Amino acid sequence: MCASGPHLPAHRPELTPPGVAQIYLERLGVRLEGQSVAGVETWLRVPEWSLGIDVGRSPEPIVRCKHLALTHAHMDHAGGLAQYLALRQLYTFEPPTVYAPAESCADLAAIVDCWGKLHRRAFGWTLVGLRPGDEVALGGGRWLRALPADHVVPALGYAVLERPHRRKPEFAAAAPGELRRLAESGVIIAEPTERVLLAISGDTLPTVLDRVAELHTAEVMVMETTFLDGRRTVADARVGGHTHLDDILARADTLRPHVFIPYHISQIYTPAAARAALAERLPPELLTRCRPLLP
């Protein structure tokens, strides 16, 4: 669970801004919460893993996460970083670990250093630069893997994975007593496998759908879908390095997540208009698995 310090009661619902999306992921037994409006603010968190993805303007729920993975250094995703560090310090939460694209770390650290000088007090935190393929342990048997993203600034997606041990195929038919005897004699009967629990694209062109395996193997796929219909064209999406629902529809046959979560939807759509566009345009089998990150 997320850490809680002595200066903030565990539950302060009035500090949570209105409009937070809450999606219970039954297969994973966790909640995905967040707010994401393109250009305005994006943050998501899985409280059970104490993991935040992007910090937005640093609302109270994200401050409780001790791991924060930034997808990129655009203001609507990373602008609240110093506020996040300041609030964690105020609440005496443990110093967090922040992950970010390696190319952006020097500038992020410089901004936080400036705020530390203004406060006359340095912020306690650890900043870890990541490149695609890098992995860090989140605890609880889970890892965070940086995924490539194709945006207009250095950017990453992220996957959360587990490595459960499964019995090797050659022992599939062995009886329990035989397995026990083999294990006791030192034979390795199980091997680690990879289970991708959740993958989040970050801000990106749809090219990642053609080259990032984790977006396809993840049980829960969180995919940037900035524009949803003809109110903006695919060319409009490309200008900002973004994905259009048309790009998803063109690849819909290849998408097999148990849960598909479009996010980073443009502010030109009200939540109701966004739901209507998705309902009208997604093929039925993808629509039944679609749970957009909307209030």
CA–CA separation, 69 and 44 (whole Å): 10
Please identify, using beta-carbon distances, which residue of 116 and 154 lies nearer to Zn ion. Answer: 154
Shortest CA distance to 265 belongs to which of 284, 288, 285, 248? 248
Stretch that binds Zn ion, among 79-87, 135-143, 181-189, 202-210 (CB under 5 A): 202-210
Q: State the nearest-atom distance from the C-beta of 149 to Zn ion, in Å.
A: 9
Backbone angles phi and psi of 130, in degrees to 5: -120, 150
Name the residue nearer to Zn ion (CB basis): 64 or 72.
72
Size of the site for Zn ion (CB under 5 A): 2
In the complex, what is the shortest distance from the CB of residue 145 to Zn ion, in angstroms, rounded to a whole number? 20
Nearer to Zn ion, 74 or 145 (CB): 74
Q: Is 142 helix (H, G, I), strand (E, B) or coil?
A: strand
Sort strands 190-192 and 165-167 into parallel, antiparallel or unpaired: antiparallel
Diameter of the chain by CA atoms?
A: 67
Taking the complex as a whole, the smallest distance from the CB of residue 263 to Zn ion amounts, in Å, to 12
Determine how β-strand 142-148 pairs with β-strand 135-139. antiparallel
Encoded one letter per residue, x for contact with Zn ion by CB under 5 A and - for no contact, window 59-98 reads ---------------x------------------------
Q: Which are the contacts of 110, defined by CB distance < 8 A and separation ≥ 6?
A: none
Rounded-to-integer distance, Cα 220 and Cα 229, Å: 23
Cα separation, 58 vs 79, whole angstroms? 8
The smaller minimum CB distance to Zn ion, of residues 61 and 101, is found at: 101
Determine how many CB atoms are found less than 10 A away from the CB of residue 26. Answer: 8
Nearer CB in complex with Zn ion: 45/74: 74
Q: Contacts with Zn ion in 241-260 (CB under 5 A)?
A: none
Give the nearest distance from C-beta 14 to Zn ion in angstroms.
30
Closest CA to 160 of 146, 139, 143: 143
- Nearer of residues 156 and 261 to Zn ion, judged by Cβ: 156
Q: Residue 47 or residue 148: which is nearer to Zn ion going by CB?
A: 148
CB 115 to Zn ion: min, Å: 22
Shortest separation between residue 72's beta carbon and Zn ion, angstroms: 6
CA dihedral 228, 211, 222, 88 (to 10 degrees): -120
160: part of which helix (H) or strand (E)? strand 156-162
264 touches Zn ion (CB under 5 A): no
One residue of 33, 54, 150, 203 binding Zn ion per CB under 5 A = 203
Mark 160-199 with x for binding to Zn ion (rule: CB under 5 A) and - for no binding. ----------------------------------------
DSSP of 234-277, one letter per residue? Answer: HHHHHHTT--BHHHHHHTGGG---SEEEEE-B-TTS-HHHHHHH
Q: How far is the CB of 22 from Zn ion (least distance, A)?
A: 24
Least separation in angstroms between residue 203's CB and Zn ion is 4
Which chain residues interact with Zn ion by CB under 5 A?
74, 203
